Amino acid sequence: MHSKGEENQMRRILVVGSTPLIFFCLVFVGSCMRHDHEPQGRLTHQSGCKVFIMNSGWGAIWPMDEDECLHYRFSENTLYLSQQNAAFNCCPGKIAATITVKDNVISIRETEQESGCKCLCLYDLEFEVVHLEPGTYRTSE
């Protein structure tokens, strides 16, 4: 058994020894957790070239029934976007996207690594934006 003086000393050591750990958890882990809950988007999939568009010298020849469109689905704070018939070079290298969310506007900036050929192709792209609070958003490119 411990005397009352030893027990009080042990409690003080436990409390004082725990204080830096609690401070670390509240400050550092809390700040990391806040950053994890900001909306973050990424390109998750791209198709291969679907439709080859030739340059006729008079301008590009576009198939009339191949309109570009954007479909979406929202589930558990994740927005899934599917962009159909996005036009890029036939030899784009890597297609990348930067997605930002600010003031209820979701901006998607798509880039191709290179323009290696003198033609265009239509691609389907899929994106996801995680940690997105339910609400009304606009998209912009």
**pLDDT value at residue 77:** 94
Query: Do 57 and 25 share a domain, yes or no?
Result: no
SS3 7: helix
pTM: 0.65
Query: Do 57 and 119 share a domain, yes or no?
Result: yes
Q: What is the pLDDT along the chain (141 residues), one digit of tens a residue?
A: 555 555 544 444 334 444 444 444 334 444 444 445 899 999 999 999 886 666 555 555 555 456 778 899 999 999 999 999 898 999 998 999 999 999 999 999 999 998 888 888 899 999 999 999 999 999 887
**pLDDT value at residue 70:** 87
Query: Do 71 and 136 share a domain, yes or no?
Result: yes
CA angle 50, 122, 136 (to 5 degrees): 120
Q: What is the DSSP string of 51-114?
A: EEE-B-SSSB---TT---EEEEEEETTEEEEEEEEEEEESS-SSEEEEEEEETTEEEEEEEES-
Overall number of domains in the chain:
2
Query: Do 63 and 109 share a domain, yes or no?
Result: yes
Write out the residue range of the structural domain in which residue 118 sits. 39-140
SS3 129: strand
Query: Do 68 and 23 share a domain, yes or no?
Result: no
**pLDDT value at residue 75:** 94
Structural tokens at position 73 = 């689905």
